[in-house]
């Protein structure tokens, strides 16, 4: 395999008002190489990628592509040079077909340039998909595909530019393990074809499988470039956060009482959930593990009354409760923290105070309906201090906080509502390594204070680290509940793939 | 082997039919509603279905709103809105009328002039939206008021009559190239076919859907979104210009105060026809069906001698029903609605 240099970035800086997003960062990429860029949120990965793909302009520094110095003023130029990017938030047109999405902006046209040659377009898509070994129908509407297949469309689109450099920003964040393996196979074939891949991922365990080199950024600064074969994940993490983080922790052996707070019996829904029963004890963290699509979020939503149940009862302290809509669940003290904070958990354009009291407004208003501004601000300040939210004041808007601090505000909202049962859905998604630790400590502390917690997580180390017991789901069924001391990744994966009738996952 | 293949083929065909129905159900229901409404009025008053009423009453009164609605369909598919089409039509009518009368233009030049002025007004909307980055609602609200004022100023508050100097202006809409078939309806038909081809077969049409589906992604794919948006609003204006020409021909004059409120009827036709206000999907045929539903209703209610006030209430209810029905269908299909 040749090792000619494709791309080299040296001394690039970029400043936004008040923030030095990138300071003198260097990076290079060879033919046939997968080069990872890692760093916490805010380390400057995205900024660097946006400069390479022409979305941002660099303030200073040089970019060399195939030996000559280039400027990349806009995405169009980047594509012309041969640099394409697969964005983290999928950038597709959901109403258009697969073929239309892949070739958007470069449609085959009949002579004259006005009319589209759809036949040629579909033929080109068929050829490209076959070349990549992707099982996609070019005429399918993209919005009707699964996330994984949409991801494949993005990849096909990136490859279709026939460039030499492909940037992948968190490509596996919503893929199942099997889908991730399929993606890796594609990446390997791109490598074999001499392309260079810039790979950004929060999932560090993937780096060992797919990358050749790893460059670490921290706070906008270049830290180090490592050969994957000569380093380890703990070393990479310590470079990312600037200190050592223990990876394989387990909860201290806490003593959980026998008092049952929440009991779910025989719960089913129309599509997926089948006859689910479990207990949640006082002061317990019950982890829910399973593959993507196993039904964990659906279960949480069914308990909350956000989606209809077809069967099953929910008992709280021995009394059956009727939950028909989320407000019923909140009224009996069950709070749900969605995996999608920005859509379902927060008002980004409002300040911390407003977000903290959002679920408890009657408590913070007088009988004429006016808000008690002072006591609201007081409770927000208490929450900021207690949960250690990093913010200048309680008046700060949520959109200006980091992911970890936003998550703390959501937690504060439910604590203010005084919920006894808290359901956390992917509590650390999109939160960087350092802040994750804090969220973990917070969850443990809440449990110690007597809250009962259901924690849904797709990261097994996280489940193992926090949960007193672990419930595993597969295909809408509960396939087992195990004590932490009996659990390891193998046991969980076995339960998580226990499809009925011995079938393995087939797409 | 071949049996398995043909079974698979059959299943695939079945899926295709199911997918087709799922995709086209909006238009199918709209068309079915149109037929039901039409049948209802015909049973109540057989005269309703006479060709005189259908062509002279229903189809003729669909032409102006229909032409506007065709233009607005493009804009709404991009996720935008154009509130200015009604008063822009008045402004185009006044400018065209003045110029045609003053310069003694012939019919063809007059038609082209109307379309040109409409296109320019539309392009102005597009420029306000892309260059000044105003939200379409605000930008076109402003041009709506502006056009209303300018139409009154230029006309000096008086209708501009197309005298007999301009030979054949009245036959643009009222003549019959095809016997017994008003030209205005023919124009609407041709415009709809052309618009449908533009929307489905050309680059501009593809980008109309792409922008409405995901503007940011379209931009990042290297498409010059702003330029295309100006072109799309200009195209909308072109149809508004054509509507103005048809309007003046039908009335024999340009009425400076006629047009306000037409924009909402045009938008209603587009929505009833199944085009999503959120952008990304829509059809010209749906829009035409939507416009027909509205004029069939109004015409029928008038023949039933329902008071005008109640006609409004019925039309309001139909809009509610149409959009609610669309929502229910989409929720069933599992699409997210916002």
From CA B89, how far away is CA A379, in angstroms rounded?
Answer: 57
From CA A395, how far away is CA A379, in angstroms rounded?
Answer: 12
Q: Has residue A499 got a pLDDT over 80?
A: no
Which of B205, B214, B221 faces A105 most closely, judged by CB atoms?
B221
Could you report the per-residue pLDDT of A126-162, keeping only the tens digit for each? Answer: 999 998 888 899 999 998 888 778 888 998 998 898 8
pLDDT of amino acid A199: 94
Nearest-Cα distance to chain B for A75, in Å, is 6
Q: Has residue B5 got a pLDDT over 60?
A: no
Cβ-contact A374, A353 below 8 angstroms: no
Q: Has residue A505 got a pLDDT over 60?
A: no
**What residues in B contact A105, CB-CB < 8 Å?**
218, 221-223
**What residues in B contact A96, CB-CB < 8 Å?**
206, 209-210, 213
- What is the rounded average pLDDT of the residues B163-179? 86
Task: Name the CATH architecture for the domain at A248-333+420-502.
Answer: 3-Layer(aba) Sandwich (3.40)
Nearest-Cα distance to chain A for B320, in Å, is 24
pLDDT of amino acid A248: 63
Superfamily of domain A5-241: P-loop containing nucleotide triphosphate hydrolases (3.40.50.300)
Does residue B18 belong to the interface with chain A, where contact is any CB pair within 8 Å?
no
> Between A151 and B116, whose confidence is greater?
B116
pLDDT of amino acid A506: 36
User: Three-state SS across A276-321?
Assistant: EEEEEECCCEEEEEECCCCCHHHHHHHHHCCCCCCEEEEEECCEEE
Q: Can you list the alpha helix ranges (DSSP code H) found in A175-305?
A: 177-192, 204-210, 233-241, 296-304
Does residue B221 belong to the interface with chain A, where contact is any CB pair within 8 Å?
yes
Q: Has residue A1 got a pLDDT over 50?
A: no
- What is the rounded average pLDDT of the residues B308-317? 90
Q: Does the CA dihedral A461-A467-A471-A473 come out positive or negative?
A: negative
pLDDT of amino acid B336: 43
From CA B173, how far away is CA A400, in angstroms rounded?
Answer: 59
From CA B51, how far away is CA B53, in angstroms rounded?
Answer: 5
- What is the rounded average pLDDT of the residues B134-162? 95
Cβ–Cβ of B210/A93 closer than 8 Å? Answer: yes
**What residues in A contact B216, CB-CB < 8 Å?**
91
Could you report the per-residue pLDDT of B249-279, keeping only the tens digit for each? Answer: 999 999 999 999 999 999 999 999 989 888 9
Which of B201, B212, B221 faces A116 most closely, judged by CB atoms?
B201
pLDDT of amino acid A149: 85
Q: Has residue A502 got a pLDDT over 50?
A: no
Cβ–Cβ of A105/B222 closer than 8 Å? Answer: yes
Does residue B332 belong to the interface with chain A, where contact is any CB pair within 8 Å?
no
Cβ–Cβ of A104/B210 closer than 8 Å? Answer: yes
Average pLDDT, chain A: 86
Could you report the per-residue pLDDT of A217-264, keeping only the tens digit for each? Answer: 988 889 999 999 998 888 887 888 775 445 566 777 677 878 999 999
- What is the rounded average pLDDT of the residues A344-370? 86
Could you report the per-residue pLDDT of A156-200, keeping only the tens digit for each? Answer: 998 898 889 999 988 887 777 778 888 898 899 889 989 999 998
Does residue B212 belong to the interface with chain A, where contact is any CB pair within 8 Å?
yes
Quote the percentage of chain A above a pLDDT of 90: 40
Quote the percentage of chain A above a pLDDT of 70: 95
Cβ-contact A336, A329 below 8 angstroms: yes
Q: Specify burial of residue A6 (Cβ count, 10 A radius: 0-12, 13-18, 19+).
A: buried
Residues in chain B: 338
pLDDT band at B12 (very low <50, low <70, confident <90, very high): low
Does residue B330 belong to the interface with chain A, where contact is any CB pair within 8 Å?
no
Q: Has residue B134 got a pLDDT over 80?
A: yes
From CA B151, how far away is CA B142, in angstroms rounded?
Answer: 14
Nearest-Cα distance to chain B for A157, in Å, is 9
Q: Has residue B335 got a pLDDT over 90?
A: no
Average pLDDT, chain B: 89
Q: Has residue A41 got a pLDDT over 70?
A: no
**What residues in B contact A153, CB-CB < 8 Å?**
none
- What is the rounded average pLDDT of the residues A434-461? 87
Pick the range with the lowest mean pLDDT from A16-30, A33-47, A88-102, B318-332: B318-332
- What is the rounded average pLDDT of the residues A278-304? 91
Q: Has residue B1 got a pLDDT over 70?
A: no
Which of B205, B212, B221 to mutate to test binding with chain A, by most A CBs within 10 Å of its CB? Answer: B221
pLDDT of amino acid A52: 92
A145-149, A429-433, B155-159 — which one is most confidently predicted on average?
Answer: B155-159
Pick the range with the lowest mean pLDDT from A117-126, A265-274, A433-442, B280-289: A433-442
Pick the range with the lowest mean pLDDT from A110-124, A212-226, B14-28, B125-139: B14-28
Cβ–Cβ of B202/A92 closer than 8 Å? Answer: no
Nearest-Cα distance to chain A for B11, in Å, is 16
Q: Has residue A21 got a pLDDT over 90?
A: no
Q: CB under 8 Å to B9, separation ≥6 — which residues?
A: none
Nearest-Cα distance to chain A for B32, in Å, is 25
Q: Identify the three-state secondary structure at position A59.
A: coil
Provide residues of A within 8 Å CB-CB of chain B.
55, 75-76, 79, 87, 91-96, 100, 104-107, 109, 113-116, 118, 141, 143, 157
pLDDT band at B8 (very low <50, low <70, confident <90, very high): low
CATH of B26-332, one of 1.20.50, 2.40.50, 3.30.70, 1.10.3470: 1.10.3470
Cβ–Cβ of A96/B213 closer than 8 Å? Answer: yes
Q: Has residue A319 got a pLDDT over 90?
A: yes
Q: CB under 8 Å to B185, separation ≥6 — which residues?
A: B55, B59, B60, B62, B63
Cβ–Cβ of A94/B203 closer than 8 Å? Answer: no
The residue of chain B nearest to residue A114, with distances taken between CA atoms, is B202
Q: Has residue B334 got a pLDDT over 60?
A: no
Indicate whether this complex's ipTM tops 0.85: no
Where are the strands (E) in A31-180, listed by range? 34-38, 60-65, 68-69, 83-86, 165-169
- What is the rounded average pLDDT of the residues A78-105? 89
**What residues in A contact B281, CB-CB < 8 Å?**
95
Which of A49, A76, A88, A95 to mutate to test binding with chain B, by most B CBs within 10 Å of its CB? Answer: A95
Cβ-contact B186, B53 below 8 angstroms: no
- What is the rounded average pLDDT of the residues B219-246? 94
pLDDT of amino acid A155: 87
pLDDT of amino acid B58: 94
> Between A41 and A79, whose confidence is greater?
A79
Cβ–Cβ of B220/A93 closer than 8 Å? Answer: no
Domain boundaries, chain A: 5-241, 248-333+420-502, 341-418
Cβ-contact A289, A471 below 8 angstroms: yes
Cβ–Cβ of B218/A93 closer than 8 Å? Answer: yes
Q: Has residue B74 got a pLDDT over 90?
A: yes
Q: Has residue A366 got a pLDDT over 50?
A: yes
Query: Which residues lie across from A281 on neighbouring strands?
Result: A260
Could you report the per-residue pLDDT of B83-110, keeping only the tens digit for each? Answer: 999 999 999 999 999 999 999 889 999 9
Could you report the per-residue pLDDT of B48-69, keeping only the tens digit for each? Answer: 999 999 998 999 999 999 999 9
User: Three-state SS across chain B?
Assistant: CHHHHHHHHHHHHHHHHHHHHHHHHHHHHHHHHHHHHHHHHHHHCHHHHCHHHHHHHHHHHHHHHHHHHHHHHHHHHCCCCCCCHHHHHHHHHHHHHHHHHHHCCCHHHHHHHHHHHHHHHHHHHHHHHHCCCCCHHHHHHHHHHHHHHHHHHHHCCCCEECCCCCCCHHHHHHCCCECCECHHHHHHHHHHHHHHHHHHHEHHHHHHHHHHHCHHHHHHCCCCHHHHHHHHHHHHHHHHHHHHHHHHHHHCEECCCCCCCHHHHHHHHHHHCCCCCCCCCCCHHHHHHHHHHHHHHHHHHHHCCCCHHHHHHHHHHHHHHHHHHHHHHHHHCCCCCC
From CA B230, how far away is CA B121, in angstroms rounded?
Answer: 11
**What residues in B contact A157, CB-CB < 8 Å?**
221
> Within 10 A of B177 (CB to CB), how many other CB atoms are there?
10
pLDDT of amino acid A503: 39
Domain boundaries, chain B: 26-332
In degrees, to the nearest 5, what angle opens at C-alpha B145 toward C-alphas B143 and B146? 60
- What is the rounded average pLDDT of the residues A331-344? 84
**What residues in B contact A91, CB-CB < 8 Å?**
214, 216-217, 220-221
Could you report the per-residue pLDDT of A111-129, keeping only the tens digit for each? Answer: 988 899 999 999 999 999 9
Q: Has residue B332 got a pLDDT over 70?
A: no
pLDDT band at A31 (very low <50, low <70, confident <90, very high): very high
**What residues in A contact B283, CB-CB < 8 Å?**
none
Helix B308-332 vs helix B2-44: crossing angle, to nearest 10: 170
Cβ–Cβ of B203/A92 closer than 8 Å? Answer: no
Does residue B210 belong to the interface with chain A, where contact is any CB pair within 8 Å?
yes
From CA B62, how far away is CA A197, in angstroms rounded?
Answer: 57
């Amino acid at each position: 395999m040749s090792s000619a240099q494709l791309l080299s970035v040296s001394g690039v800086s970029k400043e936004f008002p008040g923030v030095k997003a990138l300071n003198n960062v260097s990076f290079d990429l060879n033919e046939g190489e997968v080069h990872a860029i890692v760093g916490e949120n805010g380390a400057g990965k995205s900024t660097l990628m946006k400069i390479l793909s022409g979305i941002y302009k660099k303030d200073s520094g040089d970019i060399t592509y195939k030996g000559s110095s280039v400027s990349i003023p806009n995405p169009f130029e980047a594509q012309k040079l041969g640099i394409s990017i697969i964005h983290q938030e999928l950038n597709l047109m959901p109403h258009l077909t697969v073929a239309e999405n892949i070739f958007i902006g470069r449609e085959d046209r009949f002579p004259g340039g006005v009319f589209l040659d759809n036949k040629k377009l579909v033929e080109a898509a068929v050829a490209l998909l076959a070349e990549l070994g992707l099982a996609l129908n070019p005429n399918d509407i993209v919005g009707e595909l699964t996330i994984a297949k949409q991801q494949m469309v993005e990849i096909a689109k990136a490859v279709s530019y026939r460039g030499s450099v492909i940037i992948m920003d968190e490509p596996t964040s919503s893929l199942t393990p099997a889908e991730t393996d399929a993606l890796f196979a594609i990446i390997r074939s791109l490598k074999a074809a001499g392309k260079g891949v810039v790979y950004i991922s929060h999932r560090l365990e993937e780096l060992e499988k797919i990358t050749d080199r790893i460059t670490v950024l921290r706070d906008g600064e270049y830290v180090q470039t490592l050969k994957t074969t000569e380093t380890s994940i703990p070393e990479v993490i310590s470079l990312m956060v600037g200190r050592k983080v223990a990876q394989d922790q387990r909860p201290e052996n806490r003593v959980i009482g026998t008092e049952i707070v929440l009991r779910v019996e025989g719960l089913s829904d129309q599509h997926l959930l089948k006859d689910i029963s479990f207990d949640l004890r006082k002061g317990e963290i019950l982890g829910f593990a399973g593959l993507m699509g196993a039904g964990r979020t659906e279960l949480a939503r069914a308990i909350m009354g956000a989606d209809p149940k077809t069967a099953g009862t929910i008992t709280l302290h021995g009394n059956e409760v009727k939950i028909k809509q989320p407000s019923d669940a909140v009224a009996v003290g069950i709070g749900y923290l969605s995996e999608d904070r920005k859509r379902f958990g927060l008002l980004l354009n409002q300040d911390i105070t407003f977000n903290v009291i959002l679920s408890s407004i009657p408590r913070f208003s007088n009988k004429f309906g006016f808000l008690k501004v002072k006591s609201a601000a007081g409770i927000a300040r208490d929450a900021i201090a207690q949960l250690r939210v990093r913010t200048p004041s309680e008046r700060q808007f949520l959109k200006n906080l980091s992911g970890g601090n936003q998550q703390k505000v959501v937690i504060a909202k439910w604590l203010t509502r005084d919920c006894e049962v808290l359901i956390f859905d992917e509590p650390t998604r999109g939160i960087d390594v350092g802040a994750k630790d804090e969220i973990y400590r917070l969850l443990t502390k809440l449990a110690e204070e007597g809250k009962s917690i259901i924690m849904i997580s797709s990261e097994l180390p996280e489940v193992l680290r926090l949960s007193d017991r672990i419930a595993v789901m597969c295909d809408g069924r509960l396939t087992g509940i195990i004590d932490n001391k009996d659990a390891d990744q193998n046991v969980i994966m076995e339960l998580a793939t226990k499809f009925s009738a011995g079938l393995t996952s087939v797409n | 082997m071949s049996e398995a293949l043909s079974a698979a083929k059959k299943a695939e065909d079945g899926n295709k039919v199911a997918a087709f129905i799922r995709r086209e159900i909006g238009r199918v229901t709209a068309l079915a509603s149109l037929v039901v409404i039409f049948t209802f009025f015909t049973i109540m008053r057989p005269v309703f279905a006479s060709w005189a009423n259908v062509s002279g009453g229903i189809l003729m009164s669909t032409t102006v709103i229909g032409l506007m609605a065709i233009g607005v369909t493009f804009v709404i598919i991009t996720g935008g809105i154009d509130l200015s089409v009604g008063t822009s039509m008045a402004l185009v009518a006044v400018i065209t009328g003045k110029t045609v009368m003053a310069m003694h233009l012939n019919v063809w030049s007059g038609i082209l002039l109307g379309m040109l002025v409409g296109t320019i007004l539309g392009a102005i909307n597009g420029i306000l939206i892309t260059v000044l980055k105003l939200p379409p609602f605000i930008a076109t609200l402003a041009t709506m008021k502006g056009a209303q004022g300018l139409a009154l100023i230029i006309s000096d508050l008086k209708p501009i009559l197309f005298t007999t100097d301009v030979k054949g202006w009245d036959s643009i809409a009222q003549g019959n190239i095809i016997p017994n078939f008003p030209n205005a309806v023919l124009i609407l038909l041709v415009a709809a076919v052309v618009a449908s081809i533009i929307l489905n077969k050309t680059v501009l049409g593809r980008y109309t859907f792409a922008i409405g589906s995901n503007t940011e992604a379209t931009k990042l794919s290297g498409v010059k979104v702003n330029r295309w948006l100006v072109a799309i609003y200009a195209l909308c204006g072109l149809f508004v210009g054509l509507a103005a020409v048809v309007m003046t021909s039908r009335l024999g004059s340009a009425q400076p105060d006629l047009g306000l409120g037409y924009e909402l009827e045009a938008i209603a036709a587009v929505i009833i026809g199944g085009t999503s206000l959120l952008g990304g999907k829509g059809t010209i045929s749906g829009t035409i069906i939507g416009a027909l539903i509205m004029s069939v209703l109004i015409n029928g209610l008038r023949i039933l001698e329902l008071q005008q006030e109640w006609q409004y209430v019925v039309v309001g209810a139909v809009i509610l029903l149409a959009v609610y029905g669309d929502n229910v269908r989409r929720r069933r299909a599992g699409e997210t609605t916002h």
